Amino acid sequence: MLEVLPIASITRDVPITWFLGLGLAMFILGGIGVVTRRNPVIVFMCIELMLNAVNLTFLTFAAYGGSGINATPGGMAQAMNGQMMVIFVMAVAAAEVAVGLGIIMAIFRQKNDVDLDDMSTLRN
Amino acid sequence: MQSELYTIPSIDWSLVMPFIVVVITGVIGLLIEMFRPKQNNNAIVLVSLAGLAGAFALLIPQLGVTTTTTFAGMVLRDQFGVLLQLIIVAGAFLSLIFSEPYMKQRRIAHGEFYPMALWATSGAMLMVSSDNLLMIFVGLEVLSIALYCLAGLARDEQRSEEAALKYFLLGAFASAFLLYGIAFVYGITGSTSLAVFMETLARAPGINDLTVLFAITLLLVGFGFKTALVPFHQWTPDVYQGAPTNVTAFMSAVSKVAAFGAFARVLEASLPVQEFWMPALIVITILTMTVGNLAALVQKDVKRALGYSSIAHAGYVMVALLAYLQDPAKGSLGTVITYLAIYTFMTIGSFAVLSLTAVNKSEGTRYQDLYGLWNRAPLAAGCLVLFMVSLVGVPPTAGFLGKFQIFQDAMGAGLPLLAIALAINSFVSAYYYLQIVRAVFVDEEGALRVQSAPMNAGLRFALVICAVGVMPILFAPILSQGKQTVTLSKMIESGAFLQRPVASVPLNPEPGEKVEQITPSAPLSTVTGN
């Protein structure tokens, strides 16, 4: 069932570490962006990048059958565990976008500015 | 194999009924708001409270029931989960019941508060009643996304929106870490089930060390954010201060209980590789208690001080949890649950009293704004004093019993460092709690200018329940009959917290390789013990 050709050839020819490395790089870049950028929209884009890195990692493990001792490449139930997770992550990310942009809009209406450095009304 | 995959498992709806009742009640509340907009919220309040009471009533009979799973192992019912769900529902009920008068005073009486709070409650309930990381994640997000909205409920106020944005960005950031951790757990085991994770770790200790370490570190960071442990606590004081007080009350109890419930399960599943995280968590716990209390000392805003206090209390709960994980014979999850229950009453009660400071759209929560509260609202002031005394942990209160139990557990489990840090921190914390008590009784000229909202029935009800909740009488049998007879622990022991059937888990062993399956009735801890 899962032996669809393209995936099979990819998992044969490309080492798993390449995909995991790409995921890690995306995750780290996203993390750096969250810490350094000052516009909440861009910060949020960076968080989305991190979530996509997570999705990539899930799909990698699903396609390669994991890296652990239970690994059986092509195990269907296992692969579906990961792919199912990806669907949920995407749904949750979409919900977060709705709420996050709503909050950013509310702030923009109040003061025509959304710079994170200017948000300091909450202090001791 | 194929046919097994596609048979639809039989579903035991009784496990998810409390959860469904809460969700449906939220939908009904939203429909009421839709059909009678711009009217008072009384109908929504009544429906919401009735729904929560119904969920509570449905949960009570489940207390003695044996551990089962349903929905193909996605939903788990055990004593631990049911007890935490009871605390969550009670906490939601208490923080909803005083909300309406407060929101009216602040002119933010939006009807959608109640459905959102109910859905957040359902997320929290889901979070503590599953040992599958997928469900824990979904529950966490249902809880968090609703809370982001609730924190920004006062749409016209800059500080409320600021709190919402900070909470949202840091919460989503933390979720990304948690998810990345889950991804590696999945990579190691091929499943998102914690039972499989634990079994895999126990079966082959030392395998994939780096990956396991990486996964557990990421999970710790994610849950550290949610439970507000110290290096990851910065959002807490801001959000507690900026969010409307009723939302803060809700958040401080419900979200904390849920996060600790899930965290406990994750840590328990990681027990086979205890040496990776135990030392780090001990340091984090000490830091959490100390930083939380020291920072609270210098605050000028009561809500902010209570935010730091909640960080410190997260540290106390961690001590109990670590004591249990270090030595399940000496420590117990009963202590964790008892303390979470006591803390729920103390913190919701305190914030309920603080809600009185909102008058005519404006709200002050600095120490000066409490001046003379004793003269204006003796019941509220008296209750606040009681809660503060209990938060310090002065002997006759339940707060003392809880802390004493934690202290004993930590000493017994061979974590004297944590026990001593806990004791010292309790003394330090007395200073700022007593400052709040002092403010209530200040009777000088400035006190005359301070206004507070009139007392109302809902608040009175919440305060009386919370005050009863911190009465030691409820927990008195615990100490008189010695440590082993803690009522809650006893229930957990007899209900066998760890008996999780893992039958429905799709493990795919290599053909020919013999995989030892744990029998459904054997506690997982026996796998760990050796």
Domains contained in chain A, number: 1
Query: CB count, 10 Å around CB of B512?
Result: 5
Distances (CA, A) of B362 to B106, B378, B510: 6, 22, 66
Query: Residue A79: inside a domain, yes or no?
Result: yes
Facing B207 at nearest CB: one of A69, A100, A124: A69
State phi, psi for B269 to the nearest 5 degrees.
-65, -25
Which DSSP category does B132 fall into?
Answer: B
CA dist., res. A8 & res. A113, Å (int): 50
pLDDT at B206: 61
Residue of B399, B389, B87, B402 lying closest to B250 (CA atoms): B87
pLDDT value for B367: 84
- How big is chain B, counted in residues? 530
Interval A75-102: pLDDT, tens: 667 788 888 999 999 999 999 999 999 9
Tell whether A3 is covered by a domain: no
Residues of chain A with Cβ-Cβ distance to B137 below 8 Å are 88-89, 92
Nearest to B5 among A76, A103, A119 (CB): A76
H-type alpha helices, B190-301: 194-203, 209-227, 235-242, 245-250, 256-269, 274-297
Which stretches in chain B have pLDDT values below 70? 1-6, 37-39, 205-208, 445-448, 473-530
Domain annotation covers residue A122: no
Determine, yes or no, domain membership for A119: no
- Tokens found for residue A4: 């669809």
Pair of tokens at residue B491: 């229930």
Nearest-Å Rg of the Cα atoms of chain A is 19
Closest partner residue to A66 among B148, B159, B190, by Cβ? B190
Is there a domain that residue A118 lies in? no
**Any residues with CB less than 8 A from the CB of A6 and at least 6 apart, and which?**
none
Quote the CA–CA distance of B219 and B78 in Å, as a whole number: 23
CATH number where A80 lies? 1.10.287.3510
pLDDT tens column, B485-509: 333 444 444 433 344 433 333 333 3
pTM score, whole prediction: 0.88
In chain A the first and final C-alpha atoms are separated, in Å, by 60
- ipTM here: 0.91
Structural domain includes residue A95: yes
- The secondary structure element, H or E, covering residue B368 is none
User: For residue A58, what is the enclosing H or E element?
Assistant: helix A40-64
Written as six digits, the tokens of B69 are 């799973």
Domain of A47 in residue numbering reads as 12-113
Confidence check: pLDDT of A117 > 70: yes
Using CA coordinates, name the residue in chain B closest to A44. B169
Interatomic CA distance for residues B115 and B96, integer angstroms: 11
What does the pLDDT look like over A14-46, one tens digit per residue?
888 899 999 999 999 999 999 999 899 999 999
CA-to-CA dists, residue B391 to A61, B406, B425, B443, angstroms? 47, 14, 12, 24
Please check whether residue B160 touches A, CB under 8 A. Answer: no
**Would residue A78 count as lying in a domain?**
yes
Residue A54 lies in a domain: yes
* Contact residues on chain A for B208, CB-CB shorter than 8 A: 67-69
Residues of chain A positioned with their CB less than 8 A from the CB of B192: 81, 85
Residues of A with CB below 8 A from B166's CB? 119, 122
